[in-house]
Amino acid sequence: MQSVREFIGGANGLIHSGINFVSKHPKVAAILAIVAAILPLIALKNYFFPKPASAPTQPPVTSTEAQTNVVNNPPADDEEAAFDRGDSFIKAIREGNLKAVQDVLKDNCTILIEERGFSVREATIRGYTEIVKALLADGASISDEDRGAAVRNATLRGYIEIVKALLSNDASISDEDRGRAVRMAAIFGHTEIVTALLADGASISDKDRKLAIVHAIPRGREEIVTTLLTESAASDLDYLEYAIICNQITIANNLRKIEKLPEPEKQSTPGIAILRKLMNHKIKKISPEDLRNAIDLSADEEIKECLLKIIGPTRTLNYATIRGQTFTVKNLLESGETSEDARQAAMSSAALFGHPDILKVLLDKDGIPEDQKAWALRDAKEFGRTEIVDILNKTSPST
């Protein structure tokens, strides 16, 4: 009992001493108060949010087991994860390191079809011909979709050797991919690529062939037009008409020879002769030369009305744009007879043939979609239309 009393007395002494010490040192008192406030909060957190039980440890996986798991069981729901194991391989392709790529292929490393197709596309975009050939050596397989995309990318950039490699060994791409590639080659003047794409009787749709010719004519791609106009292609006087409207006289003469058409008769007073022909309501079609001259006179209201009856508002708008007839274009837009597609086509013609005033009129009417702006800029830069480039760069794409 005595010892208990002594303990309580000692404790009281310590408490009083502590109180006296804290009262003389306010900073210590503040620290103790903060600690006293935090301790209950920690206790509450541990009560309501206990730590989860630790998972049992697994034996370490050897590097051989890890590689086997990745190769044989790539994640099914994450396509990118399937390529993780080939990061160094893809890096070598992107850097154009042919030796590193050949070393990987020589070691018989397992390369999935999807990964090989992705690699071919990466090498194609960068123009690494030898790497593409290495990836496709010995008949290695890639999907038709990857091959078609690679052909389009190579065509866009003019990589003829890569196109040939992709099409070698009777490799197939869809008619749609082939047609799109032919159209791109016609736009950018890649004659050898057009020939390669159409070799051995390869087919494209009549629509793709016609669009490719229509793209090639105003850009003066004579050889491409001749290549595309095979015996199986339907004879179409509109190509001759379009060539003359675009002032591509050499192409027009070639078309005349192919179609066995007579040379045009020279007229001393084309304006009067055209007007007389147009005034004749029985006429269904006029010669391409007369049509071009009529377009050049289309500011005359009577001639413009006759053109609308004979060739319709779409062709009249496009031809007037090609010939730089700003007044006629404005007149047609105000009449409300032209479709949005016709106006977009006229916009491309204005950029290609360098008519900034007409382009501004058309832009004020509709704006320009982003993809069409990109194509128009390409044409304007290729043919040195600096004013057109400035206008398009200052124009925000329409939605």
Residue 104: per-residue pLDDT: 81
Q: What is the percent of the chain with per-residue pLDDT over 90, rounded to a whole number?
A: 30
Rounded to the nearest integer, the mean pLDDT of the chain is: 77
Give me the amino acid identity at 101: V
Work out the average pLDDT over 255-264.
66
Work out the average pLDDT over 141-168.
91
For the stretch 357-365, contacts whose Cβ atoms lie closer than 8 Å and that sit 24 or more positions apart, written own/partner, are 357/326, 358/321, 358/324, 358/326, 358/329, 359/388, 359/391, 359/392, 360/391, 361/326, 361/329, 361/330, 361/333, 362/321, 362/329, 362/333, 363/391, 363/395, 365/333
- The residue with tokens 């009067």 is 272
163 pLDDT exceeds 50? yes
324 pLDDT exceeds 90? yes
Better pLDDT: 334 or 27: 334
Rounded distance between C-alpha atoms, residue 82 and residue 114, angstroms = 9
306 pLDDT exceeds 70? yes
Residue 172: per-residue pLDDT: 78
Sorted by sequence, the CB contacts under 8 Å of residue 165 that are 6+ apart come out as 129, 132, 133, 136
Residue 84: per-residue pLDDT: 47
Contact of 22 with 28, CB cutoff 8 Å? yes
Measured at the CA of 279, the angle between CA 275 and CA 285, to 5 degrees, comes to 85
Work out the average pLDDT over 118-138.
89
58 HSE (CA, 13 A, CB side): 4
Handedness of CA 316, 321, 327, 331 (dihedral sign): positive
Residue 73: per-residue pLDDT: 40
Rounded distance between C-alpha atoms, residue 137 and residue 126, angstroms = 19
**Which CATH class, in words, describes the domain spanning 174-263?**
mainly alpha
Categorize the per-residue pLDDT at 3 as very low, low, confident or very high, splitting at 50, 70 and 90: low
Work out the average pLDDT over 169-174.
78
For 6-15, 109-118, 132-141, 326-335, which range has the lowest pLDDT when averaged over its residues? 6-15
59 pLDDT exceeds 70? no
Q: How does pLDDT run across 62-110, given as a tens digit for each residue?
A: 433 333 333 334 444 444 444 444 577 888 888 888 888 888 887 765 6
Domains 82-172 and 174-263 alike in fold:
yes
Work out the average pLDDT over 318-343.
92
| Burial readout 101-129 (b: 16 or more C-beta within 10 A, e: otherwise) | beebbeeeeebeeebbbbbbbbbbbbbbb
Q: Indicate whether this model's pTM tops 0.75.
A: no
Q: Give Cα separations from 66 to 34, 63, 74, 102 (angstroms).
A: 51, 5, 11, 24
Contact of 334 with 364, CB cutoff 8 Å? no
Task: Please give the radius of gyration of the chain, using alpha carbons only, rounded to the nearest integer.
Answer: 38
Residue 61: per-residue pLDDT: 39
Residue 71: per-residue pLDDT: 36
Fold of 82-172: 1.25.40
269 pLDDT exceeds 90? no
Residue 128: per-residue pLDDT: 93
Better pLDDT: 376 or 277: 376
Work out the average pLDDT over 358-376.
88
Sequence ranges of the domains in the chain: 82-172, 174-263, 286-399
Residue 114: per-residue pLDDT: 73
Q: What is the percent of the chain with per-residue pLDDT over 70, rounded to a whole number?
A: 68
CATH architecture of 286-399: Alpha Horseshoe (1.25)
For 167-171, 260-264, 363-367, which range has the lowest pLDDT when averaged over its residues? 260-264
Better pLDDT: 224 or 117: 224
